[in-house]
Structure 1
Amino acid sequence: MIKYRSLIYWLLISSFASICFATIFPFNFTVPESLSWQSVFKQFYWATNIKDYIRNILLFIPLGIGLAGTISIKKFNYYQIIIITLFISAILSTNIELIQILLPSRFSSMSDIICNSLGGALGGILYCWRSDIIHFIYAILRGDTTQINLKQLAIVIASYCLVITLSIWFLKININLSNWDDDYYLAIGSEVTGKTAWKGYMTSLYICDRSLDNQEVIQAFEQTHTFFSQLPSLVTSLVFLDEQEKYSDNTQQLPDLVWQSELTLPQTNYVSNSLANSDDLDYQIHHNKTVSFKREKSLKTEFPAFSLNKKLKQSNEFSLSLTAASNRLKQVGPARIISLAESISERNLMIGQEKRNLTFRVRTPTTGDTAAQPEFIIPNIFDDYNLHQILITYTQGKLTFYIDQPSHQYNYEFRPSTTYVFYLPWTINGWRVNLRDFNLLQSQFTFYGIILLPLAILINASILLLISSNSPYSRTKLH
């Protein structure tokens, strides 16, 4: 008993230390100039990253187990232990979030408090019913239905359905642009840091804060400039017909774009020697009525594109039209054609070129701050040096890409059945979606198959148990 209590105390102390290290490291506390209760509450925000939800729940489960083990010594019943564990976890999480206000590198979040509290309560549940859980799993693995009763199976089935329902709900409500940052810059021809530069030509960029219907898509290809210039929802209008010192947005909602200078770019961001061949030579076929972008020549807004970011975030939809030509067919990185970002690892949106393929990343609570999971690929768009018009629309979780004409399109839908892949244990970094091969029906079939298989096993076990309990042999044995 003493050894068991020592183990519980060790788990409690080590989990508490791990939580403190994970949440308030590197301990560089600074007191804000104007600190008041009003400013404290304003510091709290709602995190909208599913991975953060999962991490915060898992982080507090060991603490919940340790707390429950410690509290159980006082002879509380199971329900009291779980409630006390939930309360202590909520108090600890709230204090941590308040301390994070003093850390410039951290953010305080109400959703963290909720998830941490749930994690602590879940740890308490696992501790209180640990014997029943272990006994049930052991009986299932052995296939011994005599050690299982219908009540246990009913609880497991109900719990499984609840977890799956909540998981689908979380995936569904996080298909949006709610985690876009308003203070990101717009860069053209490279990342905002000047790295992963793109070599090519561009004639225009239009962005509006709503999606386009089928008829409008046709008009956008037939009369691009006329159509977009008359759209009330247009928030960015840039035309590149000649070289200028800076470029102004025709809608006057975007800061001026100026040329970046003194770029120091590693050779590894570009075409390696193994890729160099006759196709990689710099071609000058679009020098008239286009603007050239090179390694040392890219544009960036003088100030953050606040209005652009905010309007797309609020509308939760957008349309983007870009007319450009690659000047090198095997650029890697991917080379950034358009980037709405803060750094090379934090972005709202990115359009790039990876070898001959078009790449696209968009930030959502599912794809995360880097927007790299998944990265969307459309193969062989840049297999020539011609100008290509790329039109991208987004609405209600649906992405549609049009290349050169309305009939040449690719689709992807953010749904639980398509985004769950990222949360599977065997999913590795670098998850890419080839839109030429994407099949929504196949994704849905796989997703619901994974969900229904455990449920079918549990229901089948319930039926077998019910049959065996009602058999004449069982009744005779019981008698």
Structure 2
Amino acid sequence: MKQGKKFFQKLTPFGKGIFTKDFFMVFGSIIVVLLATLYPFNFSLPYNFSIRNISSQFESTSNFTDQVNNIILFIPLGFSLSSSLQKRKIPLIGKILLVFLGSAGLSLTVELLQLFLPSREPTPADIINNTISGLVGLLCFYLCHSQNFDSILTSIENSTLGRSTQKITLFFSGYILLVFAVSTIWLGTTNLSGWNLNYPLIIGNEKTGNRPWQGYISKIYIADRAISKNEVEKVFAEENYFHTMGNSLLTSYKFTEQCCQPEEPAKSPKLLKKKLWWEQLSENQQGQGVFLSPGNWLETAKPVTSLNQRIRETSELTISTTVASSDTQQTGPARIISISNGPLRRNFTLGQEGTALDLRIRTSLTGENGSELKMRVPSIFTDTNTHHIVLAYSKGILQVYIDNSTHFHSFRLLNLIPKEQQLFYYAITFIPMGICLTILIVLAKRKIFLYRFFIFGGILLPSLILESILVSENGKNISLRNFLLGIFFTTSTMLVLRLRALMVLKKTAV
């Protein structure tokens, strides 16, 4: 019996016995994750469920609140797993791998289970965030245990890497490459690769029928590239300019009192009449297009998959439409044009909020509802006159033109990020940089020139590189504040770790 008990204890990573403190910590962390991500557990089999449809479900993007929650949620799991693994004679790299696999495995399980929850959408970015969060938990464990922290720093300082200038320089090159990799991730936050392929095109409402717009619409053009300002001038001057765009023009509709036939049937899916339809237009309404109201709107019979796919590939978009509101106080915002699956999930929406034009476009920054960043053009629907609206999106910049090329508004997504959200993004970007820089400094301790260079270059370069790339590639304004913010998080992390190391040395000396 005793031999069997000893054998069973060896199999458990939690030390002696099953129900130890570490077991309860790990078990409790898992229960908290499951409750936070799956409650109220109203599981059901999705309509038309198949293996093929599973991949199409993994196309959602996280909003800011979800990202914060995911980062916080998995830190206790990484901490408790690290604590339990510490009692086993496993190398540090093995512990890192096990925490990585444990965090990623639980996160993947949660995302797969969310396929069967109508109120949830699986998000690939959550798996990455949760895995990183688990590794942060491991780091927190070692920072809280001085002996472990001291042994890690000592092993780094005494390693063969610290005696080779070439290897230290190579490690610094990897540090700079990491900065460029992180900058690429930043650029990806404004692209349209998260657009859902399964959303239909809806005009005058939401799919659920609870965001109606009342007014007239006569034309819609949608293209998979952002047109230039010179082209915008031609759009306002030439009625049929979009037909010169060739394959870039994805769909086009010209509405009359006969309603819903597309201009190019081969490209544009037929729009179906929803609810009751209108009576014959009166004489003074002729030429304004079709009338949309709470009882009358249009929707494609199937998702506009091809259109969504093309825009996902180019991450660019142009939409031109001619509309006239019948009520200057419509809110919701009332949906004029929407590529969506309901009031909370969309790829794009052009709507009316009072007299303002409300715009929503799905990116990692704006979330699956496109509403995390506010984009509104004021004083557009102050009358019931016809307005020609043209918008173009590319590289995080949304340009909106009203009636002519001189009346325009520009929205730069990265400049619209709220301050508290910027702090979070810069923290998760530059705290890892500070950790890497600390390792570099410990390695270069014997090389005075490299040591000094790494302190100044390692602090300044990451923030400088990121800010330069965002300004040149994503239309972001130069921001001294953001530049200093990156320096602050990198330096603070390095100083905290170095201070912790000094405290460990003092305790050891005593």
Q: What is the TM-score of this pair, normalised by structure 1?
A: 0.71
Question: Could you tell me how far apart the structure 1 residues matched to 2:498 and 2:75 are?
Answer: 33
Give matches, 1:452-467, under 5 Å.
452-454=487-489
Question: Could you tell me how far apart the structure 2 residues matched to 1:97 and 1:196 are?
Answer: 30
Q: CA deviation at 1:315?
A: 2.0
Q: CA deviation at 1:345?
A: 0.8
CA contact (8 A) 2:62 2:123 kept: no
Question: Could you tell me how far apart the structure 2 residues matched to 1:98 and 1:194 are?
Answer: 30
Show the counterpart of 1:74: 88
Show the counterpart of 1:220: 235
Question: Could you tell me how far apart the structure 1 residues matched to 2:120 and 2:332 are?
Answer: 29
What secondary structure, in the 3-state scheme, does the structure 2 residue paired with 1:405 have?
coil
Code of the residue aligned with 2:399 in structure 1: it is T
Q: CA deviation at 1:455?
A: 5.2
Percent identity between matched residues is: 28
Show the counterpart of 1:153: none
Show the counterpart of 1:63: 77
Q: Deviations over 1:383-441 (max 9, x none)?
A: 122111110001222211111111111112233x54364725899xxxxxxxxxxxx87
Show the counterpart of 2:188: 173
Alpha carbons of structure 1 residues 297 and 126: separation in structure 2 relative to 1, 3 Å: same
What secondary structure, in the 3-state scheme, does the structure 1 residue paired with 2:291 have?
strand
Question: Could you tell me how far apart the structure 2 residues matched to 1:297 and 1:32 are?
Answer: 27
Show the counterpart of 2:405: 406
Q: 1:202 aligns with which of 217, 220, 226?
A: 217
Give matches, 1:182-201, under 5 Å.
182-201=197-216
Q: CA deviation at 1:40?
A: 10
Question: Could you tell me how far apart the structure 1 residues matched to 2:285 and 2:229 are?
Answer: 33
Question: Could you tell me how far apart the structure 2 residues matched to 1:168 and 1:458 are?
Answer: 19
Is 1:419 equivalent to 2:417 in the alignment?
yes
Give matches, 1:283-298, under 5 Å.
287-290=285-288, 291-298=290-297
What secondary structure, in the 3-state scheme, does the structure 2 residue paired with 1:178 have?
coil
Show the counterpart of 1:259: 273
CA contact (8 A) 1:186 1:192 kept: no
Show the counterpart of 2:486: 451
Give matches, 1:325-404, under 5 Å.
325-404=324-403
Alpha carbons of structure 1 residues 287 and 90: separation in structure 2 relative to 1, 3 Å: closer
Alpha carbons of structure 1 residues 171 and 49: separation in structure 2 relative to 1, 3 Å: farther
Show the counterpart of 1:279: none
Q: Deviations over 1:269-307 (max 9, x none)?
A: xxxxxxxxxxxxxxx996121222222222222222222
Question: Could you tell me how far apart the structure 2 residues matched to 1:44 and 1:197 are?
Answer: 27
Question: Could you tell me how far apart the structure 1 residues matched to 2:57 and 2:291 are?
Answer: 44
CA contact (8 A) 1:43 1:108 kept: no
Q: CA deviation at 1:339?
A: 1.1
Is 1:85 equivalent to 2:120 in the alignment?
no
Q: 1:237 aligns with which of 219, 230, 252?
A: 252
CA contact (8 A) 2:61 2:368 kept: no
What secondary structure, in the 3-state scheme, does the structure 1 residue paired with 2:87 have?
helix
User: Which structure is higher in helix share?
Assistant: 2
Question: Could you tell me how far apart the structure 1 residues matched to 2:492 and 2:420 are?
Answer: 25
What secondary structure, in the 3-state scheme, does the structure 2 residue paired with 1:295 have?
coil
Code of the residue aligned with 1:450 in structure 2: it is L
Code of the residue aligned with 2:334 in structure 1: it is A
CA contact (8 A) 1:171 1:366 kept: no
**CA RMSD of the aligned region, Å?**
4.3
Show the counterpart of 2:261: 248
Question: Could you tell me how far apart the structure 2 residues matched to 1:461 and 1:22 are?
Answer: 31
Q: CA deviation at 1:462?
A: 12
Q: CA deviation at 1:100?
A: 6.0
Q: Deviations over 1:71-111 (max 9, x none)?
A: 22235565543343234334444555566677787666665
CA contact (8 A) 2:25 2:80 kept: yes
What secondary structure, in the 3-state scheme, does the structure 1 residue paired with 2:28 have?
helix
Q: CA deviation at 1:47?
A: 5.8
Which range moved further: 228-237 or 75-84?
Answer: 75-84
Which range moved further: 231-240 or 418-427?
Answer: 418-427
Code of the residue aligned with 1:249 in structure 2: it is P
Code of the residue aligned with 1:419 in structure 2: it is I
Give the length in aligned residue pairs: 405
Code of the residue aligned with 2:397 in structure 1: it is K
Code of the residue aligned with 2:485 in structure 1: it is I
Show the counterpart of 1:152: none
Show the counterpart of 2:24: 10
Code of the residue aligned with 1:213 in structure 2: it is S
Q: Deviations over 1:19-54 (max 9, x none)?
A: 23345552737699998xx86996795765465665
Code of the residue aligned with 1:16 in structure 2: it is I
Code of the residue aligned with 2:483 in structure 1: it is Y
Q: CA deviation at 1:237?
A: 1.2
Code of the residue aligned with 2:215 in structure 1: it is G
CA contact (8 A) 2:363 2:370 kept: yes
Question: Could you tell me how far apart the structure 2 residues matched to 1:389 and 1:32 are?
Answer: 39
Q: What is the TM-score of this pair, normalised by structure 2?
A: 0.67
Code of the residue aligned with 2:225 in structure 1: it is R
Q: CA deviation at 1:236?
A: 1.5
Show the counterpart of 1:470: none
What secondary structure, in the 3-state scheme, does the structure 2 residue paired with 1:369 have?
coil
Q: CA deviation at 1:362?
A: 0.4
Q: CA deviation at 1:443?
A: 7.7
What secondary structure, in the 3-state scheme, does the structure 2 residue paired with 1:194 have?
coil
Code of the residue aligned with 1:214 in structure 2: it is K
Please, which runs of 5 or more residues in structure 1 have no aligned partner?
Answer: 136-159, 264-283, 428-439, 465-479
CA contact (8 A) 1:50 1:170 kept: no
Show the counterpart of 1:474: none
Code of the residue aligned with 1:221 in structure 2: it is F
What secondary structure, in the 3-state scheme, does the structure 1 residue paired with 2:417 have?
helix
